[in-house]
Amino acid sequence: MDQLKELNDRIIRRVNVNLEEFDFDTESFVNNSLEYDKMLKFYAFYGITSKHSIYFHFRNSNIAGSYFLGQCYVGRSAIYKSDIRGDELKRKGDNIRYIKNVPLVEDERITIRDSLLYKTLVHSNSHNLESPEEFSIQNTISAHYVNIHGSDLQGCFLGPFATVDLMNLHSCIVGEFSYVQAGELFHRKIDPGTVWIRNVNFEFKYKFKNDILDNYVGVNSSHQPRGLIYDFVKEREQDYEKLFDVMNLDPIKAPANSAVSRYAVVNGKAQIGENVLVAQRAFLENAAMGDGSNAQENSYIIDSNLAGNCITAHGGKIIHSNIGLGTFVGFNSFLNGKSHAQIEVGEGCIVMPHTIIDPDALIKIPDEHLVWGFIKSEEDIKTNTIALDDLAEVRDSLSVGKMVFSGKGSVFIETFKKRINQILLANGALFHNGEKRGHAQDDQNISYNIIQPYSTGELKGLYPSIRIKP
């Protein structure tokens, strides 16, 4: 146990050095978060398939309750109940486009050094052109239910329910429930509840009011989360722990071209359509998943119906809702319908990351709308949605409620729809006649292998250093 505590102390010091200019101390977060008894109890597991490169190297680390797929290196780090999903890493021979094509000379690898990831998802591939063969996370601490999606990090702290997407951050603090996709940031502090997307053609920005944010995702002085969204997740956490108490479970019934992870929770009645992906740590309860739809990691589909080709991105929560054909529900969104106050989202809608819809009466979002921010009533729809056709007409700037958009609306929509199509393709939603395979087809035959920590002795709490190759 002493070795494990020394490991965490070293991580604290390394992160604090990077954030010294902000007078930010991560010690209280670490000491109030880590569950040392469970870090000794839970096994880690890694997946092997014939479709993914195999390389796992764990060294001087604790990886309790965490899942690894694809090429991963973890050194001097604590990875607790996290998913390190490298099934979309770049491969040797792929080309990176920068003025001219730059071919990769080896397969890309996720590398995590001197970091603490707490109930975090790491996915996609690095968007750092300077190191295209390495997706690197160093000297970083991420709090509860963070999404690190294709983003290299050096010396950062990410607050609970934050998302960093397709970018690079150096010595940054990202506040709780913030979503950031802004290229490259150096020495920046992002306010809690910020939704910010920026590139050369457009910029989208929204910030939650402090009282609303505090009600849904607040934090105390040690950055421990509280609020309605955290309570919702916490109430269901034990259902996942049950999956780790047994080695073999009966598979969930699904079509032959769909995949339901052995580490997903499925309660009540579930209807699984064709080409559906239900990822590990997804939660389904009385859910209907239409053909080509997916429930990604840490997503919840409860008493809801998803029409075909719906995407529920990492951490998305859909309760008592009906979601129209081809609709995207973004990272960590919270669609909190009730039996007496259903949410209906039309076809072809884009629900922006970190959107909260929490009605007291029936809410209807029309087809082909962009949705963002906080919606409590029908009146809020006017200030938190816009028809995609209307947004496409924007050439300069637009303000709707607290949302500010600048740039070309048509490029924003085109970029988003292109990404949605890439997600559907990668997840196998478009599989037909043996073509366009994706995760829904390739993840059906994953074999899981487990690793356990030392339970006694000088190395108690650490996992054996091990390298696994083909």
pLDDT of residue 164: 98
Residue 363's pLDDT band, with cuts at 50, 70 and 90, is very high
**Contact call for residues 145 and 159 (beta carbons, < 8 A):** no
pLDDT of residue 129: 84
> E-strand spans in 293-349?
294-295, 300-306, 311-312, 317-319, 321-323, 328-329, 334-336, 343-345
pLDDT of residue 248: 64
Q: Which domains are delineated in the chain?
A: 2-235+445-468 (2.160.10.10), 239-442 (2.160.10.10)
CB atoms under 10 Å from CB of 146, counted, come to 30
* Per-residue model confidence as pLDDT tens digits over 21-35: 999 999 999 999 998
Among 151-160, 281-290, 321-330, 441-450, where is mean pLDDT lowest? Answer: 441-450
Sign of CA dihedral 376, 379, 382, 387: positive
pLDDT of residue 178: 98
pLDDT of residue 246: 64
* Per-residue model confidence as pLDDT tens digits over 247-258: 666 778 899 999
Q: Name the residue among 237, 226, 228, 221 with its Cα closest to residue 29.
A: 221
Average pLDDT, the chain: 95
pTM for the model: 0.97
